[in-house]
Structure 1
Amino acid sequence: MSLPSLPRRGALGALAALAGGLAFAQGSAPRTVRIGYQKSSTLIAVLRLQGTLEQRLAPLGVSLSWHEFTSGLPLLEALNLDNLDFSADVADTVPVFAQAAGARLSFVAQEAPSPTAQAILVRSDSPLKTVAELKGKRVGFAKAAGAHYLLIAALEKAGLSFADITPAYLTPADGRAAFERGAIDAWVVWDPFLSAAQVQANARVLADGTGLASYTRYYLASTRFAQARPDVLNVIYAELEKTGRWVKAQPKEAAALLAPFWGLDPAIVERANARRSYAVRAATPQNIAEQQKIADAFFAEKLLPRRVDALDIGLFQPQG
């Protein structure tokens, strides 16, 4: 099932590239697990660059194919359409939209909250000083991203509703361009785009997620794949956990590795990584409690087609 009435353009090229790929469930050799990721998928990027997952999964007869997406929503759409087997981390809002479209997905892991790793930005010369002053303004962000929920929560705290602003649904790249040329009054975005805008465009933070949005990121698999190959997911989970600890313990080395892959200065990457927890843990009913609050907020703003039970999703339990 496709995600109705949601932006699809960013996914079309990637889905076309995937169409001829070998799905793991097809049983052909070599068996290929299709992994989707986005630019903010730090731990998956490290594992890809180091070749760790290929080495760990080779004894299971598994190879990998990698597929980049512009943001989390088209990534989960591809997962829902069975064009991917595993999704690297997406913001907590994204699964809610997928659930509203009837997707059958399973949480494999989550990162502990990183509320300062996303923020509402204005240009350095902007007269805007508070979120309340966004009333009537044009605000850019990626639809269904964590930034979308941050904006809703910040507006509510300021006594405004989503209807009080003019939304501009933009990919991070398009958002940066619109922000710099003044086509939008504010831009809501996450790291590493956030850090890049602060350093390169001298952007000013109007509000981050502190006290507003936890910004928990989730790793997901199709329920079909989670049920068929828990052994593969156990390996991925273990390597994500280990890599998260390495990135935090070796910030300069991690930044040097990621900088050319992301096309950013190492100092920007290190700044972005400092704001992410990278503490990988199992997704449990207790750990995903905020998902219902997020779902209810989007439904209240008439941005979801139906009410969502945030706990109605598979929860993979890693085995040590």
Structure 2
Amino acid sequence: MTHTKTKIQLSYFSKKHLKGCFSWGYSLLFVLVVCLTLTVASCKSEVINNSTAKTQNAPSNLTRVVRIGHQRFGALFYLKAKGSLETRLAEIGWSVEWTEFAAGPPILAAIGKGKIDLGYAGVAPPIFAQSDGVPFVYIANDSALPGSIGIVVPQDSPIRTLADLKGKKIAATKKTAGHYLLIRALTQGGLQLKDAELVDLPPAKAREAFVRGEVDAWAIWQPFLAQLQETMPVNFLTDSDGLINDRNFYLASRSFASDFPDIVKIVMGETRKMAVWITRNPERASRFISARRGIKRTTARILTQSRSYDLLPIQDSAVEEQQRISEIFFRLGLLPDRIWIEDVIWKQRLDL
């Protein structure tokens, strides 16, 4: 490289002036060096903090969040009210974000959109979600509890048998256990799904339509059933006993379960502790949830006693039954393709 020498005319500067310039230059250089040193030290400190955060699984200023979707029943509902999961996860730098949903389908939709990490739903929603390509896995299940949902009509309704539902309007939330119960009940009554008019409504809207007489019957689950019975007398056409095993599943985003299996296991462990406590103390549990969530004591008691509060590693019998249900939906044309439940079972072991 060729350098061009520049001749500086020192005659323009007096010695005193030149000395002052060099003094000022050295001062500026010193300040720049100090600033640069502090900046490098600061950056180095930040890298160390980030490394420590990863090693210690996120300190308080970098808290990770597990987002859980729940319904107004089940052990997760009670666990949220108690707050013990927050205490457990805070020890390792995690917090909890709870979201309540009226039914299972929006919980699966939220998992699919990346809005929540874990959820709880009945037999039908996961089947439709799998068919729609939602990336989730089954983590655990409750024990089957026949009789916890039903099809009701107003007490003064002329409808007395399942066969009487022909040509009637029946409120049900599509892609839920209520929807599946309706299919099974109509079959038992010698009817097909096309023989009645299914009015697809979420539980709150369905209740309004039922009370106003805009629909003839309603396929619904707890606690909405108990809340309805507090306001008006109804007759049961059938419950789920002998038609479906009303089982619920704990579900997780596939990516979250893969990236944070230990967090999934902690959440499931704390949920199971709560489930065991509810089962052993149903009256105390009903008082607890009534006080914490503003539910009437009678409704809280029904809510507590109408479900099976436990949590089991996903069972082969549950997988087999889900497959049978999916086959029925497929044969009815409600699923575009056959699915295999085994494809979305979490492979990790839950030591509960």
Give the TM-score normalised by the residue count of structure 1.
Answer: 0.87
Deviations, residues 290-313 of structure 1 (Å, cap 9, x unaligned): 101111111222222222212221
In the alignment, which residue of structure 1 is the partner of 2:104? 72
3-state DSSP of counterpart to 1:288: helix
3-state DSSP of counterpart to 2:215: coil
Equivalent of 2:268, from 225, 237, 251?
237
In the TM superposition, residue 161 of structure 1 has moved relative to its aligned partner by: 0.9
Q: Distance in 2 between matches of 1:319 and 1:230?
A: 12
| Greater fraction helix | 2
In the alignment, which residue of structure 1 is the partner of 2:210? 179
3-state DSSP of counterpart to 2:218: strand
How many positions carry a matched residue from both structures? 293
**8 Å Cα contact 1:34/1:84 also seen in 2:** yes
Percent of aligned positions with the same letter in both sequences? 34
In the alignment, which residue of structure 1 is the partner of 2:130? 99
Amino acid at match of 1:95: P
Amino acid at match of 1:119: G
Equivalent of 2:336, from 296, 305, 308?
305
Q: Distance in 2 between matches of 1:102 and 1:243?
A: 32
Query: Which deviates more, 253-262 or 210-219?
Result: 253-262
Deviations, residues 48-81 of structure 1 (Å, cap 9, x unaligned): 1111100111122111111122211011011012
Q: Distance in 1 between matches of 2:165 and 2:300?
A: 29
Residues 1-320 of structure 1 aligned to structure 2 (within 5 Å) = 29-40=62-73, 42-87=74-119, 89-260=120-291, 262-315=293-346, 316-320=348-352
CA distance 1:262–1:51, shift in 2 (3 Å): closer
Q: Distance in 1 between matches of 2:322 and 2:223?
A: 23
Q: Distance in 2 between matches of 1:182 and 1:262?
A: 30
Q: Distance in 2 between matches of 1:310 and 1:286?
A: 12
Residue ranges of structure 1 left out of the alignment (5+ in a row): 1-23
Q: Distance in 1 between matches of 2:62 and 2:345?
A: 28
Amino acid at match of 2:329: F
In the TM superposition, residue 286 of structure 1 has moved relative to its aligned partner by: 3.0
In the TM superposition, residue 182 of structure 1 has moved relative to its aligned partner by: 0.5
Query: Which deviates more, 159-168 or 308-317?
Result: 308-317
Q: Distance in 2 between matches of 1:82 and 1:74?
A: 12
In the TM superposition, residue 260 of structure 1 has moved relative to its aligned partner by: 5.0
In the TM superposition, residue 259 of structure 1 has moved relative to its aligned partner by: 2.4
Amino acid at match of 1:50: K
In the TM superposition, residue 175 of structure 1 has moved relative to its aligned partner by: 0.9
CA-atom RMSD, angstroms?
1.8
Q: Distance in 2 between matches of 1:202 and 1:53?
A: 39
In the TM superposition, residue 257 of structure 1 has moved relative to its aligned partner by: 2.2
Q: Distance in 2 between matches of 1:60 and 1:314?
A: 27
3-state DSSP of counterpart to 2:68: strand
3-state DSSP of counterpart to 2:276: helix
Query: Which deviates more, 99-108 or 300-309?
Result: 300-309
**8 Å Cα contact 2:81/2:293 also seen in 1:** no
Q: Distance in 1 between matches of 2:292 and 2:71?
A: 12
Q: Determine which structure has greater relative contact order: mean sequence separation of CA pairs < 8 Å that are 6+ residues apart, divided by chain length.
A: 1
Amino acid at match of 1:167: L
In the alignment, which residue of structure 1 is the partner of 2:29? none
3-state DSSP of counterpart to 2:81: helix
Q: Distance in 2 between matches of 1:268 and 1:37?
A: 18
**8 Å Cα contact 2:182/2:219 also seen in 1:** yes
Amino acid at match of 1:36: G
Amino acid at match of 1:55: T
Deviations, residues 259-302 of structure 1 (Å, cap 9, x unaligned): 25554311122113212111211113333211011111112222
Query: Which deviates more, 125-134 or 278-287?
Result: 278-287
3-state DSSP of counterpart to 1:121: strand
Q: Distance in 2 between matches of 1:148 and 1:203?
A: 19
Q: Distance in 2 between matches of 1:262 and 1:173?
A: 18
Amino acid at match of 1:246: W
**8 Å Cα contact 1:244/1:278 also seen in 2:** yes
3-state DSSP of counterpart to 1:200: coil
Amino acid at match of 2:271: L
